[in-house]
Every structure is written in structure tokens, then in C-alpha cells.
Amino acid sequence: MNKNEIVEPHTRPQNTSLPFPKPFTAEWTLRRIRRDPELHALRALQSITHPERSQEATLGILQTIKELDDQTALAALKLMQESKRYIRGRKGHQLNLSVVLKTLEDQRAFRTTALLDSGCTGSCINRQFVNKHHIPTQQMPIPIPVYNADGTRNQAGPITEMAELVLAIGEHQERIQLAVTNLGNTDLFIGYEWLRFHNPNIDWERGNLVLNRCPEACGYRHPTLQSQQLDTFQVNQISNELEEGDQVFMFDWQGYQDENEYWQKQLHVRRLKSQEDLHNLVEPDYFKEFPEVFGKQEFDKLPERRPWDHAIELVPGFKPTDCKIYPLSIVENQALDQFLDENLKTGRIRPSKSPMASPFFFVKKKSGELRPVQDYRKLNGMTVKNKYPLPLIPELIDKLKDSTCFTKLDVRWGYNNIRIKEGDEWKAAFRTNRGLFEPTVMFFGLTNSPATFQGFMNHILKELIDEGHVVVYLDDILIFTAEVETHRYLVRRVLEILQENKLYLKPEKCTFEAWEVEYLGLIVGHGTMRMDPVKIKAVNEWPKPKNKKQLQRFLGFCNFYRRFIKNYSKIARPLHDLTGNKMWN
């Protein structure tokens, strides 16, 4: 059991249906949106959004994507990575073309004129035409922004509907997805996407179009040009421009559907099974240079003996303690067997003949998983306390204010990287209904574990900590600088030290070269610091305390954030009074 398994009043929601993807992809962003606090998720969304569309990456669109299912959300995110797709984004050849539109269900047909424009990108249909003929439409999963030809956002609003119809040009028929928008005096726009797909033979001078090069996916075959010119259509060149107030459109509905189909096949729970999978989680250069630091996933060897081995010094005159065996349910007994098998196999525990024992039991996490607990309270009461200080969190945070680039590293196996001092193992023995066992590595719950681990980390990283660009709080390492090149140099130095000391990292919990980072319950970046929205939500949803102990726990949680609350002491005084001798009612 390690520090990271402590159950807090509120834990960040997890989406275990998603694999660990390559950073800065739509899949990576979707995972961040599902798992991270709101502002972190927004930064992730902004990081993958195409520069031309940066103004679209807002909290509003983030919330919309959060409410979508994974398939639809992934498709929407991939669209955010594309550049703007204009209906009229640049000057291009234009032709008027006589076409017939048919509804899918009742086969109603409407003859109209389409504007064929190589300067357009998507295809769309006039909202007035749709309303006039009562053409069925589909709601878009997220609104699609609309731009004017100069690249500015159109005040008329986004695209919210699509219409699926049959488009007939002579004998050539196909199903087509059309965005519903305002097109002035034109009923239908057919753009570059359609031209690129069908690759028709067009004589722009004479106004002739021949569909003789359709791909197999189209399903249409031209009957041969030598015998007849069946699919040659007379079209009229036009020079009129879009009127002021007309909308332009960016969206590729077929691509959207393709991404849906792809994501359906990809949504499977999977574990990292190879170095190649793991490579996708971290910066490629770091991974290649330090494969062992990022690649080791199994605790298969005990750490070496070091000067920082954890000593358990007992007070003079102590008396060995005994404990009862806690009864376990069937499920708990199965979990116990698994815990013992795994830890005996790796050597983290061994059978014991100790004259003293601490109790062992399980507590249930909010996720439903069982967490093994060694109750070392009696042992801790007899242990001489190590006064080595943990860093003051406010002092650590204050060092980060002027930095713009952050890397956060999470050390794998935490306290288990420290051996218990040889000869002291028996003191931490614990009793189960399967026998008596003693740990060979430092476990969570021993009174001096934080001090021992902090001292170890401070020693091996002392030089970098003194330089002022690295801070360490137990197994969380943060590198912070104002320049990227300096940052990468320091990250490599930290990784070298970890490799020398046989310490390993959890890539899925590391953050590289971020401009904003969550550290020790605060969001730091851009020269500011603020509370983690997850913690704010935890306070808002905290159940009403029913006794002094619950109230003290709540106040302890809030006290960490008092710097963000003006007149906190006055606001909290009535609650502090209740922790004294005042009567509760």
C-alpha cells in the first residue's frame, strides 16, 4: 500500500474505458477531458485545437464535449484539429448546375440549381429551402462554428443541423450530407470536397461537366464517352459573390462518420503490453534515453541496502504488543491471498516469528476496490519520532510563480523503494488469518515513513533542489523553468539521478513541458496559483459534519486553502468554536 492510495473526500473521476494514448492526439485529449479538472481539460483541448480555430476552445465547448459519448466526442475533437473549412474561403471557379434533390424516406423530389464552386470546401443547403420543403434534418452533436470569408466568426451563429438527401445530376445519384445554413439566393452549394472525391472532367471555359472518373466507392459507372455524352451537363458560369451576412461553413460530415466507426472499434479496455505502447505515453526523447526509468512495470527485485534504510527505533522500556485477528469475508480472504502471494513472491514481505504483531484488515475504496491496511498505531506510539521535516507546501508553491514550463514526475512504488533497516523488520510484523508476516520494505502507515522517504529524495536531488528549479514532496517531483531548453536539460538531469538510484516512474501519471500544472492541490501556471477545481467541488459537496471529529477533518481540509479566502479566520470561527466544549444540537 502506498501514499497514493489514500481515499480523499472527493476523488477525480476515472474513465477506465480509454487506453493510454499518444500525447496531443484526440484520444489523449478525450482522456484528459474525462479525468482532469476543468481547467486542465481546457488546456488539453486548446493544445490540440488548430491555431486558426483557437477561439473555439472555450469552457462552453468543453462542457458540450464532456456530455457526449466517447464515439461522438472523439470525432468532435478530431474536427477541432483541422483547419477552417470554408464554404467561400478563397476565389475559385464557379458554375451553376441543374440538380434534383430527393428525400430518403418519402422520395419527394425537388429540382433546383446548385452552385459548384472550387473555392468552397464543404457542401451545404439553404435553411429557407429546407424549411419551405419540410426536409428532415439531424441535430449536430456539437455546434459547428461559422466564419465569414475573412476568417472572423459570423454573428448569425453556428451550424446545428445536417440534412441527408439524394443528389441527382443527370443519371448520377448519390447520398450526400449537407449542412443547413443561410446561403442568400442560392439553394445549394457543392464544394471542393465533392469535386475532389468525384474528380469530374470540367471545361470551365465552355461550362461542361463530365462524371467519367468517379471512384469505386461512388458506385456510378460512366457508359463510355465514345458512344455518347450522357453525363455531360451544361452549366452557366457566374461571377456573383456571397452577399453580406451569408455564412461559411467548416465541417466534414463523412469524416465525422468515419471517426465514429473507427472509435467504435477502438473502445476496448487494454493494458500496456509492450515497450511500444509505453512509448506513446511520454516524450519520445526521454523514453529513448531512459527506457528503464519509464519501462519497468513489475516490482521484481528488492531495492539495495542504503544509508536511508528505514530504522524503527523503539522507546526504552517498550513492551511487545499483541493484536486480535480480524474476521474477513470471502471476498476479503481472496484479496488477502492475492496480497500475500504477490508480496511474498517479490520479497516485500516474509514469514515472521516476531514477538509482536499489528492487526491487518481491509477498507473499501470509493471505487469498490479493497485496500489492505496494517494498523500500526500501537507500534507508532512506541516509536521514537524522526523530526526530519516535510517541505512547507506554501514555500514550495511560492517558488513556482514566475515559471512557464513544468514537468511533473511520479515515482513508482513510493515508500516500497526503501528497505527496512536490517534487524528491524520484526517490529513491523502484522498478523493475518494466514499467519504472521513482516515487511522488508517500508510500508505506508509507519510513523516515520514520510520523513525517511523525504530525506532520501532530498539527498539524491540536493544539487538540483539548491539550484532552485526542482522541488520534491515525497514521491512527487516538479521541474519548473522559464525557458524550454533549460527545462529539458534539467529534466534529463533528474532522470539520470533516478536511473542511478534505481527509481522508476509511472508515465501515465507524469506531465511533460506543460504551461500549467496541478501540484499539491493547487493549479500553478502563468504567474498565478489557484485552487484545484476538484478540491473546490469537494468542499461544496462535503457532507454536513455530525460530530467534532468530522468537523475537525473538514476544517483541516479547508485550512490548506485559507490563503485564497479573505477573512478566513472570521468566517471559520463559528466552526472552530464547535471543536471546543460547546454543546452540539
C-alpha cell read off for 565: 479566502
- In this structure, the strands spanning 94-102 and 236-237 are antiparallel
- In this structure, the strands spanning 159-169 and 94-102 are antiparallel
For residue 267, being part of any structural domain is answered with no
Q: Domain range holding 557?
A: 542-577
- Is residue 404 within 8 Å of residue 526, measured between CB atoms? yes
Mapped onto helix, strand or coil, the DSSP state of residue 98 is strand
**pLDDT for residue 14 is more than 60:** no
Domain boundary among 194, 229, 251: 251
Q: How far apart are CA 301 and CA 565, in angstroms?
A: 48
Q: Which of 74-88, 283-297, 379-393, 469-483 has the lowest mean pLDDT?
A: 74-88
**pLDDT in the model for residue 82:** 74
**pLDDT in the model for residue 494:** 94
Domain boundary among 251, 273, 304: 251
**pLDDT in the model for residue 491:** 92
Q: How far apart are CA 337 and CA 500, in angstroms?
A: 34
- Is residue 294 within 8 Å of residue 507, measured between CB atoms? yes
Query: Which CATH number belongs to the domain containing residue 476 in this structure?
Result: 3.10.10.10
Sequence-distant (6+) residues with CB within 8 A of 449 are 310, 415, 418, 442, 443
Total structural domains within the chain: 4
- pLDDT tens track for 100-126: 999 988 889 999 988 877 656 678 889
Mapped onto helix, strand or coil, the DSSP state of residue 233 is strand
Does residue 493 share a domain with residue 561? no
Nearest partner of 411 among 471, 329, 498, judged by Cα: 498
For residue 319, being part of any structural domain is answered with yes
For residue 373, being part of any structural domain is answered with yes
For residue 304, being part of any structural domain is answered with yes
Does residue 315 share a domain with residue 399? yes
For residue 537, being part of any structural domain is answered with no
- pLDDT tens track for 174-221: 888 888 888 778 888 887 778 777 777 776 666 667 777 777 666 554
Does residue 157 share a domain with residue 53? no
- pLDDT tens track for 453-504: 999 999 999 999 998 899 999 989 999 988 878 888 899 999 999 999 999 9
CA angle 479, 443, 512 (to 5 degrees): 20
The dihedrals phi and psi of 344, each to the nearest 5 degrees, come to: -70, -40
First to last CA, the chain: 39
Does residue 127 share a domain with residue 42? no
For residue 88, being part of any structural domain is answered with no
Report which secondary-structure segment, H or E, holds 486: helix 484-500
**pLDDT in the model for residue 477:** 94
Q: Check residue 154 and report its DSSP letter.
A: P
- Overall average pLDDT of the 141-162 stretch: 65
Q: How far apart are CA 350 and CA 345, in angstroms?
A: 9
| Residue with more model confidence, 72 or 502 | 502
Report which secondary-structure segment, H or E, holds 370: strand 370-374
**pLDDT in the model for residue 360:** 92
Residue 239's CB is within 10 A of a number of other CB atoms, namely: 5
**pLDDT in the model for residue 381:** 92
Does residue 115 share a domain with residue 38? no
- Is residue 358 within 8 Å of residue 428, measured between CB atoms? yes
- Overall average pLDDT of the 387-398 stretch: 80
Does residue 301 share a domain with residue 153? no
- Overall average pLDDT of the 410-430 stretch: 92
Nearest partner of 543 among 14, 6, 10, judged by Cα: 10
Q: How far apart are CA 233 and CA 313, in angstroms?
A: 95
For residue 256, being part of any structural domain is answered with no
The per-type count for the chain, helices as H runs and strands as E runs, is: 19, 25
Does residue 244 share a domain with residue 133? yes
Q: Which of 280-294, 419-433, 456-470 has the lowest mean pLDDT?
A: 280-294
Does residue 514 share a domain with residue 556? no
Query: Which CATH number belongs to the domain containing residue 164 in this structure?
Result: 2.40.70.10
- pLDDT tens track for 548-565: 888 888 888 777 777 777
**b/e per residue, 243-263, with b = 16+ CB within 10 A?**
eeebbbbbbbbeebeebeeeb
Nearest partner of 123 among 162, 79, 151, judged by Cα: 162
Q: Locate all alpha helices (DSSP H) within 22-126, ordered by sequence.
A: 26-35, 38-48, 59-66, 70-80
Does residue 553 share a domain with residue 501? no
Does residue 422 share a domain with residue 304? yes
- Is residue 272 within 8 Å of residue 243, measured between CB atoms? no
Beta bridge partners, 209, equal 202, 233
Does residue 69 share a domain with residue 158? no
Q: How far apart are CA 110 and CA 101, in angstroms?
A: 5
- Is residue 164 within 8 Å of residue 176, measured between CB atoms? yes
- The DSSP code sequence of 500-557 is HTT--B-GGG-EEEESEEEETTEEEETTEEEE-HHHHHHHHTPPPP-SHHHHHHHHHH
Percent of the chain with pLDDT over 70: 75
Does residue 289 share a domain with residue 343? yes
For residue 270, being part of any structural domain is answered with no
Domain boundary among 39, 56, 82: 82
